[in-house]
Each structure stands twice: as structure tokens, then as C-alpha cells.
Structure 1
């Protein structure tokens, strides 16, 4: 605070003192002596109570007043007010009050712009003094009262609207993916409504998607952002729908579909569970075409499968038919001499499928003269010490697969060389006795 005091003024009656005028000489008559010996003295011009600094925070000052007060003597002194060296006039903003020795300056609805030095100037009898104090309004930091939504998802073709609000008036800069956004007739409108800031984008498309940032000018740390994703409503995401698959056990089943448009948001489901890739499961994507292949189908693979794309689910079923086998190596016909052993061999496609051997339509089982073997996909029948009467058809059947061949058993022939013993042969000749 600064207080300027007035200089002392000589008292009346001091003017002729010490000039050596002789008594009775000519000249002006001396003033009459004051009554009862008292002399009049001028009241000195001074501040009895000086101005004091006023400190307000911006939040406190909004809508409130600041009052500078001082007391001055004599009460008849004329006062005026200044701000930062410039005269103030009484107005709705600045109210002056003078009541006896009290002087007041009332500053209405204090704003940041009212910050400064205020001076009270007092004048009386040609003298002038002044007193100064400061009004300090401490500014609040700029911050967002309302930030942009974390994500904004307009429908394709519909307007995209983004809005945010600051706690005080400031210029802002809008950006999309780091590039400054500007007004564009019929497409982009940037508006300021009070403390609010808004952007409207008409007929939103995929090109309007991205990261939008609203940043206070020259204050990069004061910003808010939203990630814009334009949603396109597609009634049917699949151009080629899924088809039910009916395959044989151990066969591969392949589900295929084609997307309306490419998107990363898709997944295959079994029931309601997402299918992870594995040695058994193969997933492929070629452009907009998607395939799911299930290898070596078993009973536990029978289920409802689905393609989920952008939240839409399309289903198809996998079912198994009866298991089938295929003859890889058919039986070959065999010819042997009685009492020898004979082997029949075939190969089928299914390793774990049991089969059935028959001779002349009779099912064969293991016995001392019949050996049945299985080695991988190979099946083997060994008949021992075969007899002539065993000649006939030999067959093997596994599931739907069947193969057959002929067994021919020939009797041993008798031959004699001179000089060797020939075994006796008994011949039974049937005959009929007539009476």
C-alpha cells in the first residue's frame, strides 16, 4: 500500500514575523489577537484508516462484490478513485460511498479483469494525498465440467454429435486422428454454446470414425477425447449361409459361409462356446469367405455350430451317419490238398471295426483248426488240416463291406512205383441184395 501525505502549510500570522517592523510605523495594521489568546490551525489532511489489499479466489468472486474502505480527515475532503492510474467513474460496476470520514469503493460482480491497483485520492484546501491497495483475484485452473463420452457409436447415415463443457470460457481446438477439424458446409459444424463446445457431423460414414480430441487452445494438457465407431445396420451379414453337415464317422465336416462385408468381429461357436484352434479344428479366412473344418468326426462332435459376426448369430448342425468300411484288399480264392493248412487275408479301411468270417455260410469261430487274426487293418483266417468237404465259399464282412473267395480242397491221389510197397486200399462198393 502507498500513502502519500500532504506538505505542511505555514500558519496565518507567520508572514510578518521576523521582518523588523518598528512600532508605530506605517504599514498594515497587525491582526487582532485571537480571543482569549487561542490561534486557529488548519486540520491536517490525512488517512486515519488506510486501504487494505483484497484477495479473492475466482470461485469466491463470481457474483460477489469487493469493497475498499478508508477513513480520511478532515471529513470535508473531496475524494476520487483510480484503477491502475486511470480515473474511475461511478457506474453500475463501481459504486462510491462517502459518509463523514468514511470512503468506500464497491466493485460489483468481481471478475478476473477487475484485478489491479486501486487508489483513493483525497483533496482539501489545495492539498492532495492518496492511498493505494491491490485487488487480487486468484484464477482457478481450467478444467472440464463435462467430458466427451469414452466411446461414441452413431449409426451409419445418421448425424454424429459430440459435446463437452469447460468451467470457464476458453478457445478450443478439435482434432480427429491428430488432424485439426474445421467447419465444412453441409458436413461438419463446430459450435460454442456458453461454456459448452460441440461438433456435429452429418451423414456419418466409416471415414468419420476415429479418435476425436477437444483441446483447450495453448493448453495441450487440458483435453478430452472420444473414440468414434460408426455402426452400420446390416440385416443379413452372410451372403452364403451355413449349411447342415451330415458325415460318416471319422470323416471331416466343413462349414462354409461368405460375409456381406469384411470385418474382424467374427468367431465360430459350438453351442454357445467359442471354438479355439487345435489339431482337430481348422479355421480359414480368405477375403470374405470363412471355413470351419472338424476332422475325424466322432459322436462328441455332434452339436449345433454357429458363426457369430458383429453380434449376429447364424447356426447349422453337424450329424453323423452310420459308420462304413471299405475293402482295400479283397480275398483271393485258394486251392489246397486235404489235410493241409490254408490262409485267407484281406484288408479294410477301419482298423477298430470287428468283422465276421464265414465258410459255406456258417460263421467261423476260433478253434484248434480255425485261427482268426487281426493286425491293424489286416484281417486273416487260417484253416488247419482242411478236408475235402470244406470246399466252398469263404467270406469276410465288416459293417457294410464284404469280400468273398472260393476254397477248393482236393483229395490225395494214389500212385505206385514197381518195387515199392503200396498201401492197401479198401474200397467200399455199395450193392443191393435182391430176393
Structure 2
């Protein structure tokens, strides 16, 4: 028995399939294949095909480590050939190093490869990394970097970089640090009587103190202080101009500040004032209706502010505001003005003199000639 077609050296690209074939002069049911001194059996990596005088060894998905001498042995005769794998023989020049950082800091993992511009995939605990606000990947020639910003205890993990099937691993250890704000307060502009919600978030659950212009803010009927997990919230109900200022949330080791601006409400006049004309001593009534039902107004007569008296009645009924002037006098004739927030309206008051009338009218007289006549 002899080899009609002996094995020949094979060269294939990386990840491709390699085939060693031979033919012998005698039909044989089975031959033995060797890699070096090791016997090869059929599995996912190797397929062995026997077809009478023809015999084949198939090597699937070739890697650089598959390079070796392969031998077929049959009836005391052997034939040997070599497998060469083509491709970039990538190596890690500078591997990843374990990192230990404090909460809130940035962890930086750096890798250097033997070749330029080789794509690298990053993993954290075997989960592929996707760039985000806190995850940044950089590639410059042979150098590849992963940065993890604002690390927390939840970021403790194994970091892996993989390039063309070549892996490199390192561990990230996070040391518990001081409390700090991960989400800071934002400036806020509100309208009078609005509810204002100021929110921030910490890296851990700790107590905080709220301040307004350096004075501590305490809970009340109009102020609520909430703590939900790592989130801290200050709620101001029905704010007024006196609530404007700088608000600060202080956790002892960090603080965040924002400005609160309060704008006046745009109050509209839905039903304006109408002028009134009365006689001296009579009653004049003025009424205006606004778009808001909780706004206090001010009445003026000829530029003078009116306050409730025996002759002046001021009524506020929701959005309706009423002025009643009793026992009006002629000198009061002039302009009646109402104002509330940005709303303004005016009307005229005219007080007339009472008309002259005869209490005792003249009566006819009958007198004698030369007598005196009196009425």
C-alpha cells in the first residue's frame, strides 16, 4: 500500500476552513489523523471523511493556534503536511490594568495593540458597552481607551476589550466616597400662585438641608420637603414675590444652588367698570370682574385710595370686586379707578345738585282795593 496523492501543505485565511486530502492504493475503511503527537477525533473543530481510497481532514474556523503539522497514518505508512493561517497576528502590547477609584471619579482603562486601526469592542461584565454621557470610548492608532465617568458602587465590574478575537480583561473597584449631587438644581421661573417643585439627586441616600438666601427652609402649610431614595424635592405652594431668591440643597459634603424668579400673573378684566351718575346724597355702585378669583384689588377716587368707612363699602367676592359709595357729594365727582396686579380700569362718577322744588307754592289772593296783598 502506498500514497497515490500524499498530503500537501495548506494555507488559509483566518476564520476560514482548511482541508487536507490524500489518496491511497487500497480501500481502507478508516485512517488515523494526528496533530503533532495528538490523535484527532471528529468534533466541532474537526470533520473526518473516509471514502474508500480517498480520505480527508477538515479543520473548521482556523485560528493562528491551529498552525501545526498534520499527519495521516494508514497500514504503517504516513504522510505529513503543514497548516499555515494567514491574517494579522494581533498582539496586546500594553494590557488593561485593574483600576480602583473613588465614587464620583473617572475610571480610565487603556489598551495598546500591535497594529493600527484595529476595531476594539468593550464589555462590562460581558455586556457590550454603548457610548453615553458617562461611557466614552476613544481610538487613536494602536491606543484604545474606555472612560467611565462619575462612577458609583453599581459600576464595580470586569472590563474586557476584544480585538479580532483577542481578549484583554481588568477589574474596576469603586471605593465608597463622600455624598455628592449627581443631578443638580436648575434655575426656575414661576408665576405668582403657581406651585414650584425644585428637585435634585444624590449618589447615595443622605440627609439634606434646604436654604433660601442662606436661611433654612422648614416644612409648613405652604412648604413640603420630600426624600425619595436618592432624590430630594422642595415643593413651594402658591408662591409669591417673597418666595423669590437663591435656593440651596446642602448634604454636608456638597451643595447645589438655583435661582427662583417669580413673575406677576397676567390678570385680565373680564367685565369692566361702568360710569355712574347720581344726585347729591344718593348711593353709587361700581363693579368689576377679573379672570382670577384670589387677587386683592385697590379702589381710588380722584387719585385717593379708598378704605372702608361708614360711607364706603368694599366687597371682594371671588373674581368680582364691588365699590359702594353712600351719601355721595358733589365734590366727589371725578374718576373711580380699580387696580389688581397688572389689571387696570376706570370709570367716571358724576354727582349732581338736587333740583330746586317749591315746598309751598303760591296761592291766589283776593284783596280789597287799597289793601296790602301778601303771599
TM-score of the superposition, structure 1-length normalised? 0.35
Structure having the higher strand fraction is 2
